Structure 1
């Protein structure tokens, strides 16, 4: 079970745990700083509103356990609130505006740059943040020359063969994937007796999709009455553990690669 502030991620790689002198003396040529960005928002009647931020913290905690000791990877406290205005009006949702979230990330990046860091990973676990983080990554690059990466752990796979094709396509919020993960991370935070199945009615379209091909703007109430998009009723902790293990294996390897990547002109 995930416990915050325990393990190598927090004892050995949590940047704010260091003194100012220690931060100054860190080797920075191959250093990567990770900024987790999540959300506090409704996830239906069965999952905590902390779901996205919780998944991000737990994933990084497990992945950093798998890193080689020599890797210069440093973790920042998460930005726990995201751009969640698509869920406003549903209880428990706390949203930042796009301008506020962008400003926070830009200020953090500027501060890291002043401390001598040149690589930043925006580690995102909320779909509503994706477009903004793509944009702000380039803004940071132009603004102070840092090399900026962004990824969502769901893009690293791990659910193939465990979750059916319909759910992988349309289960984008509080469905099998997220519920299985939270069951494996903090089972006592899940009220599985209230889990529901509600799949957005998109299967009749050839081009319109929720997150690919031709996209459309939506508020949660446009696609769901329960606050869920997916099938939470089939989620299990076993599936969550398998997904987490696969994702964190891949993520640990990816972080090592990011530490040595350098942008030079026409790359």
Structure 2
């Protein structure tokens, strides 16, 4: 089996991957509460698992290497439940910027930032926008929850998509870290969201702590979880991330559709 984990490779092997135009997956996650039944590493563990599986699949088409997971994320909304480590947006931005710079200095030109924590999403989009202006690399930000949304929906019974410590996350943790899941009374943990969490009006955004949504740190119904379902969810996520990596359009250079000039005035660079 091809080795895809950065930390398990030697320096010259990583240099060889850069020279071969490998894609780097940079997983970004969190350490935060996941209800009474799941460990705080849930987002980090699942993001890593799917990244590794996706890299092994994609490596049949082109070289891929998975960097160590950035486990520090934006989790202020979970702090009230305890067990959560969070950093501020400026620190998060600086950390990701430095890591991307470290990758590009070694010659990597295709970087997939694979996010597995919803609280990071807006900031990561902004960071990609900022870095893309000057970075020599093509930066793509994704999440398995969005890239495999249709497949995940088909596998779930009580949810349309990924929530938090829910049917999906509990199933996946049962599949890859079953010994860390307290499955003694999952039915008692079900939480049916009855109010908007981060929305206001018809399409507006409003920040709220997670206590606004749930009293036990769970959003969704973990009672519907199973290890078999978790394996299928993990494979669905990995398959779609691998497809994203191997699609040439993902890494295609941007086009410039401007004419040479408008009104007789040429465009500058």
What is the TM-score of this pair, normalised by structure 2? 0.84
Task: Give the unaligned 5+ runs of structure 1.
Answer: 1-6
- The Cα shift of 1:61 comes to 2.0
- The Cα shift of 1:145 comes to 3.4
The match for 2:170 is 179
The match for 1:247 is 237
- The Cα shift of 1:102 comes to 1.0
Q: Distance in 1 between matches of 2:92 and 2:235?
A: 30
Q: How many residues align?
A: 253
* RMSD over equivalenced CA pairs, Å: 2.7
The match for 1:161 is 154
Residue pair 2:75, 2:119 contacting (<8 A) in 1 also: yes
Map residues 59-208 of structure 1 onto 2, 5 A cutoff: 59-155=50-146, 156-157=148-149, 158-164=151-157, 167-168=159-160, 172-195=163-186, 196-202=189-195, 208=199
Deviation per CA, 1:79-99, whole angstroms, max 9, x where unpaired?
A: 012111111122210111111
Question: In structure 1, which of residues 251, 256, 261 is the aligned counterpart of residue 246 of structure 2?
Answer: 256
Deviation per CA, 1:137-164, whole angstroms, max 9, x where unpaired?
A: 1111113232100111011132233324
SS of equivalent to 2:77: helix
SS of equivalent to 2:247: helix
Deviation per CA, 1:55-111, whole angstroms, max 9, x where unpaired?
A: 011112222232344512111111012111111122210111111111110001111
Residue pair 1:82, 1:96 contacting (<8 A) in 2 also: yes
Deviation per CA, 1:38-66, whole angstroms, max 9, x where unpaired?
A: 11000000000000000011112222232
The farther-off stretch of 250-259 and 109-118 is 250-259
The match for 2:224 is 234
Residue pair 2:244, 2:250 contacting (<8 A) in 1 also: no
Q: Distance in 1 between matches of 2:210 and 2:243?
A: 35
Larger Cα-atom Rg: 2
- The Cα shift of 1:238 comes to 1.4
What is the TM-score of this pair, normalised by structure 1? 0.85
Shift in alpha-carbon separation, 1:219–1:260, aligned structure 2, 3 A: closer
